[in-house]
Structures are given as C-alpha cells and as structure tokens.
Chain A
Amino acid sequence: MRPGALVGWWAVLTAVLLGLLSGFRGFPAAAAREAAVADHAFRFLLLLATPVFALVVAVLTYSVVARRGKGDPPEPPPYVPEHPWVARAWFAATAALAAYVIYNPGLVGLAEMRGVPVSAVWTGASSGVRLASLAGADGDLVVRVRASRWLWQFEYPDQQVTSRELVLPVGRRVRFEVTSVDIVHSFWVPAFRTKIDAVPNLTTFLHVTPTRTGSFEQTVDLRVQCAELCGVGHAIMAAPVRVVEPEAFDAWVAQQGRR
C-alpha cells in the first residue's frame, strides 16, 4: 500500500469538490436576517463536510482499484497488526471536529438566529416559549398568527388590523405570536428560513427581521406554508407574504382600517 497515493487522491478530491462548492448558489430567495444566518451556516457545514466526504470516497475508490484481489476467493493478505495510534488519532480527530461543529455553526448559529450572545443559548434567555408576561417586550411589530384547518390569519394588535395576507415592513424586527385553534400546524416562510409550530393551548414565539422587499407574486418562497401534517388540506395551507417599505406598510394599515 502506498499511503502517499491515497493522501494525494484525497487532496485532489477535496480541492475539486471545494472548487465546485465555491460557486454554490443553490438557495431559494432570502428575505430576512435569519435567512442569511441559516444560509451561512449551511454553506459552512458544506465546507466542513467536504474533506470528510472526500476522505471516505478516496479510501473507498482507492480500495476498489488498488486492493482488488484475484481468485475466488482471493488469498488473504499477510496480517499486519493494527497500529494502536491510528484508531486513537481517528477518535481524537472526529471528536475534535464534532466539538467544533457543535460550537460553530452550532451554538454560534443558534445565537445569531435568536439574536442573543452565545452564552444565552444555554439558559433559554432567547425566544421560543416564554412567559406571556414578557409578550411584546421585544420586537418592533407584533403579529399574532392564528392557524386553523386550513387557514392562516394574521392579526396586528397594535394596528388593529386582521388579514389573510402577511404584510411586513422591511427592516423591522417582527415578533410572531403563534397559536392554533385546533390541531398542530407549523408557521414556515421558506424565504425567512425558519419556522415554529402553531400549537393549540400554547403560544409560541418567533422573531424575524425582513431585509428585502418582495412578494409571493415574485417568488413562491415568500409564502406562509404549513409544515406540520394537518390532514386533508395540509399541502395547500398557504398564505401569501409581502415585504414592503415602511411607508407602504403604513398605507396598507390605513387602507385595511378603512374597510
């Protein structure tokens, strides 16, 4: 066996795959701060996974090409005792890599997603389920999302508006307060890259800061899609999303109020 050939093959494969991935633009439309965080984490995980993937594929292909035996069955190769440090080194390297991935993008990405310091993700001092007394304390705009079979309804309590279309002003941190009146649904906007279940008898929270204007008519990624199986109408339980300039949002509110 020539370890040099194997290492070279691994290096070439890694380089080729990294080259292919460097041009990776395979994400749907991104329209929120959270989407940038998720896409960054996704891309970073792809980069970290590349040498691992390439190592296994390199050994696999090398073995099939260079270690193929002759005969039915092939004569066993002379036994060479295992070097104890190989497994130890493998264990240490994979443990170190796992520890790093847990830290970054794991904890770092979770903290960025929630908009809190890394230390806060252990204590739960970010969003998710929170005491109702804290409701409205963070976020520039509150939207109450009410899911039912198979409809979405969006209530803007401060604006006293209720709508079947989700209209959001760009650049403001939106606090969604999500609940369901019947069974479990899930509030998901693909262009925001985040979701939270709508659960009966419970209010769940999700924070999103839209960063780009756009509408469902421009991209289907700007839709609220139910992501938890909820029966007959699950597939078509969707609502259009529109992210607009703040002035346009105010105009929309005023128009809704008149109706």
Chain B
Amino acid sequence: MRALVPVLKGLGYGVAGYVLGGPALGAVVRAAGLGFSFDLELVTGSLVGTVGWLAGVGVWEVWARGWFGLPLRPWPDEEGVARYFRFTTDHKVIGIQYLVTFLGLLFLGGALAMLMRWELMRPGMQLLTMNGFNQVMSLHGIIMIAVAVAIFLGGLGNYCVPLMIGAHDMAFPRVNALSYWLTPPVAVLLLASLLVGGWDSGWTAYPPLSEVNAPGQVLMIVAVVIFGLSSILGGINFLVTIARMRAPGLTWSRLPIFVWSVFAASLLSFVFTQYLAASLLMVLLDRVAGMSYFHFARGGTPVVYQQLFWFYSHPAVYIMILPAFGAALEVITHFARTPLYAYRWVVGAFLGIVGLSAIVWAHHNFTSGMPDWMHAPMMATTEAISVPTGLVFLAALGTLVRGRLWLRTPMLFALGWVWNFLIGGITGIFNADVATDLHLHDTYFVVGHFHYTIMGGEIFALLAALYYWYPKITGRMYDEGLGRLHFWWTFLAFNATFLPMFWVGVHGMNRRIADYPAALGDLNWWISLAAFALGASFLVFLYNFVVSWVRGPRAEANPWQASTLEWQVPSPPPVENFPAPPVVVGVPYGYGIPGARHAAFGAAGGSEEA
C-alpha cells in the first residue's frame, strides 16, 4: 500500500487542483460580475488539476522544488515495486509504466469495440441509443489512437532503445518521466468526459459539430493537447538519445533497424504534433472565447480545420507504423537467423516515408470541397508512398527467403504482420485513387483499411515485439503453447472480422453509424461474431503474460541467441544497464557471417567478447 502513496497524492492534488482551478475560480470570477462559461471552467480546472497531479506523483519533490531555490528531496532508491508508482527516471521502469498503462487502455478500447459490435450485430437499435453509440465510437477511436501513438515509442522504445544503443538511460531522464506522467491525466480526462455529456464527434472532432456538442468535447480537446505535449517531449528525447548516446563504434550504419524506426517516428512526432494542438485549440477558442474560425453561425470556414488536422494526423499514422516496421523486421531477421536484407534501402525507405508523409494529408479531403487542383497531386504523392513501403516488404521477404526460419511466437506474429499489412497497403491504393475514393471515403472500406494497417500492421508487430522482448523485460519466459494459440486465434479472428468490412463498405455501409440498411444485416452479424472471437483471443494473451510474469520459468540473458546489445546483459537488465561499457565492433545482424560480432564489453582491465 505504501507503494501507492505518490499516486494517491497525485490524485488528491489533481482533484484539488481541478476544484480550485475550475469551479472555484469560475465562482470567483462570476461573483466579480464577469462571464466564465462551464466550458472554460473545464479547461482551467483540468489544466490546474494536471499540474496538481504531476506535483503529487513526485515532480515537486525531486525536481520542481529546485526551480524555487528549495532543496530537492533525495530520489527514492530504484528497486522494488514502488518505483513503478512514482515519478522515476529509469527508462526501463518508464517503459514498463507505458506498456502496462497503454495495454490497459488497449483492452478498454477493445471492450468499447465489443459494445459497438453488439449494437451493430442486427439492424435497428438494441443495446445503445444513437447518441450513446456515437460516444462509445468516439471514445474507442481516441483511446486506440492514443494507444497506437504511445505504446511503441513510449513502451518498447523507452525500454529497448537505450539498451540497444549501449546507453545507460535516455538523454533527458526527467523529461522522459514527465512524458509518461502526463499520460494518466489524458486517460482520466477522456473517461471523465462521459460525466459531462461525453462527445460524439469521433476522434477527428470535426467542427462545427465539435463546437456545438456536449461539454465532454472540451475535456477531449484538453486531453489530446496534453497527450500531444507528451508526444513532443518523447520525440525530442528519442532524437537526442539516438543521436548523442550511442556506444563507441555504434555508427549509424550499425544501428539496429528498430532504433532507426524509432528515430524516424520521433522526427515526425517532434515536427507535426503541434499542428494537431493548433487545430484543436482553434476549436476550443471558438467554443470558449467566441472566435469564428470554424463556427457556422459566425461565418467560419470548417474545411480549414480538416486541412490543418490532417497535416498532423496523416504523419501520425507513420508515427504508429514506422516503429512497427522496425520491430517486425527486427524479429524477422533474428528468427530467420540471417542478416537483414537490403538494410540500407530500408533506412532510406524510413526517411523517405518521413519526407513523403508531410505532403499527402489532403487525401483525406477528396470529398471535403477543397479546391479541385489539389486532388491530382495529393493522389500522386500518396501512391508514391507505396515505393518506400515496398522496400520494407523487400527487406522482410528477402530476409525470409534467404533465412532458416525459427517459427516461435514472435516470428508467427511477424509473418502475420506481412500478410495483414499487405492487405492494408493494397486497399490503401483504392482510398488514394480519387475515382474509387469518392465512393469509398467514409465507408467501412476505410474502416477495414485502417484496421488492417494499424491493428493488423502495428498491433501484430507490437505483439511480435512483446513476445520477443518479454523474457528481457520480465526475466521470465512466456508459455510457447499459449503464445501459438494466441497467434492463430487472433490472426484468424482478425481476418474474419475485418475482411468482410471491405465488402459492406463497397455496398453502401458508411462508417460511424449506429444503424444501417437491413440488407447488410447478415454480414454484420458475421462481423460481430468474429469480433467477439477476436476480443476473446486477447484473454489468452492477458493470461499468458500475467501468469508467466509471476510463475513462468526464469529467462536466460539471451534465450533467442540474438546478436544485438540488449541480449548481452542479464534478464531483466540491472539498473545501470551495462556493468561493463559496450564497444560496438560490427554489423548488428551478423548471422552466418564468419567472424562477425556486434559488440565487445570493455571493462577497465580487459575485455570480454559478446
């Protein structure tokens, strides 16, 4: 229980901050005869509340006191369960905090999806009201977006990148901790929005709908802006860490491919997240300050929001998928026991995707009423992204076909990633092509497409990576039989759920609807059943990971006999990561190359080979 003290303190300060900064401030201002809307109360309250939360979990004692010339409290020691429940700087602790938090949110978002599929199982309304459905759909969307953005970089990036580059921690450990501790308020605000009417405008929050709906929208906007701050801080941290903290000898051309992918995604996160904040802040100003950016009654221009919003939100999908590319290729090369094929081409492809992702945003707007001359260039740039993505496939296939495959659970998920992302990628062309997209836009064809890319692509790569690094992170081995069961169950149920969505989309089922034409009832019934099976398959994963963490057999330092640095230290690694500093002497994936090795460990007196 003592372990929970910082979190409870944070909650207390957070609630107190909310009350003082929101309702109390509002009452004072109103008593002075000035206006102070409920929307504004929610904004100031949640901002002050977030500051209170941060102060309570430890920022005040170990960091912020110094800003006021007060002596800092000593850092609590870095052992034991308590470190997971307070502001602490070890990147491995922060990685686990991110992973557990966002896996929890993944399950919550999945449960919301089950609610939606229950409602959509039959035409007509059964379980939810139409407004209730829209709120559940919106919450599912934003939670899954947050999971998709944060779980790879925040979770596995934090845990693995410093280990893989031979560093003792991230470049800015306190900023790293701040990035994580900003995320619980995001989850709380999103869920608390249900108490003030929720919001029904989807994760995209297009105005003017998002300016005339319930006050829950305000909490969503504040939550997303705070989440964006966390993303930007995380992006900066990864860029500096990877640029400046690599072990001696770890040149850019020897960098493990996962590290490269985190670097590329962090570039996007650093550069583009501000545009999301800008677009949402304009909506907020329309709501609380009577501005007229987008409001229909004040002559606003709603299509401008869509341009600004997608200027972030399309690059955001590459923040999600680039680390997934890196992780899947990482798993494929280790489990094919052969060097990664076309390594330099893949690095080029990652950077090409970073560049191209900045000039494709308006393919979301082919039907929005934007000027007609933008259609052709945006279609061209969007379809051009298939070229660097094709190089990622070249690397995966080239490695597979030259390898000796070791079909353990991580590899199964990586192979599933190839299949799913293939379908996600091909259907993307249909959405990028104007002639077909005018029909497919905002239908279940799009829903199928982005679930194939983000769930089938990113989450399958995430599962591959979680099984791969599980023994390193927990020091225990998961159950291989249950892992395989999880793979086949999830893979089959996933495809059974999302493949028919392309069909119902083409046949006139638009997205984000609580009800649909009766003619589509049979297929929706099937999709719902498959979705329930998909949801249930994750219980196998949960059981396997929880039980193995407590009772699984102890893992060796390097159960996969993998070549990269994180496997050359004990499982789990000690607080300082590398008792002896590593020196990198060769390529990361030297499988089958006579005499090749990646690293040596030079202690003061001698060296020990890895």
Contacts and interface: CB of A to CB of B under 8 A. Distances in A.
Interface stretch (A53-61, A152-160, A162-170, A239-247): A53-61
Contact of A73 (B134, B342, B390, B406): B406
Contacts of B419: 57, 60
Given A82-B341, A109-B436, A102 B134 contact: no
Contact of B206 (A128, A184, A190, A196): A184
Interface in A229-252: 229-236
A106 B592 contact: no
Interface stretch (B28-36, B97-105, B502-510): B502-510
B516 A235 contact: yes
Nearest to A96: B387
B200 A75 contact: no
Contacts of B404: 67-70, 74-77
A73 B383 contact: no
Interface in B382-423: 383-384, 386-387, 390-391, 393-394, 397-398, 400-407, 415, 418-419, 422-423
Nearest to B411: A64
A37 B437 CA distance: 12
Contacts of B510: 188, 225-227
B383 A106 contact: yes
B515 interface: yes
A195 B441 contact: yes
A118 to B, nearest CB: 9
Given A63-B405, A98-B386, A128-B369, A232 B134 contact: yes
Contacts of B299: 201
A110 B402 contact: no
Chain A interface size, as a band, is 35 or more
B235 interface: no
A87 B394 contact: yes
B401 A105 contact: no
B140 interface: no
Given A57-B422, A227-B442, A113 B394 contact: no
A218 B517 CA distance: 13
B508 A64 contact: no
Interface string B466-483: 000000000000000000
Secondary structure of the A contact surface, majority rule: mixed
B535 interface: no
B349 to A, nearest CB: 9
B406 A60 contact: no
B507 A28 contact: yes
A74 B426 contact: no
A78 interface: yes
A38 interface: yes
A112 B438 CA distance: 13
A115 to B, nearest CB: 12
Contact of B373 (A35, A49, A122, A233): A122
A228 B206 contact: yes
B26 interface: no
Given A122-B376, A232-B134, A194 B438 contact: yes
B341 A76 contact: no
Contacts of B438: 34, 38, 113, 193-195
Contacts of B225: none
Most buried by B among A35, A127, A221: A221
A18 interface: no
Nearest to A97: B386
B415 A60 contact: yes
Interface string A90-101: 110011001001
Contacts of B285: none
Given A69-B406, A200-B208, 19 more contacts: A57-B419, A73-B337, A76-B337, A82-B341, A82-B398, A90-B391, A105-B435, A110-B375, A113-B438, A122-B373, A128-B370, A183-B302, A195-B439, A220-B517, A221-B507, A229-B209, A231-B213, A233-B130, A234-B130
Interface of A: 1, 6, 26-28, 34-35, 37-38, 41-42, 45, 49, 52-53, 56-57, 59-60, 62-64, 67-70, 72-80, 82, 86-87, 90-91, 94-95, 98, 101-102, 105-107, 109-110, 112-114, 121-124, 126-130, 180-184, 186, 188, 190, 193-197, 199-202, 204, 220-221, 225-236
30 contacts: A37-B435, A38-B435, A38-B439, A59-B401, A62-B401, A67-B405, A69-B406, A74-B337, A77-B338, A77-B402, A78-B592, A87-B342, A90-B391, A91-B390, A98-B384, A98-B387, A102-B380, A110-B375, A110-B435, A124-B371, A128-B370, A128-B375, A129-B371, A182-B212, A195-B367, A201-B301, A229-B202, A231-B201, A232-B134, A235-B513
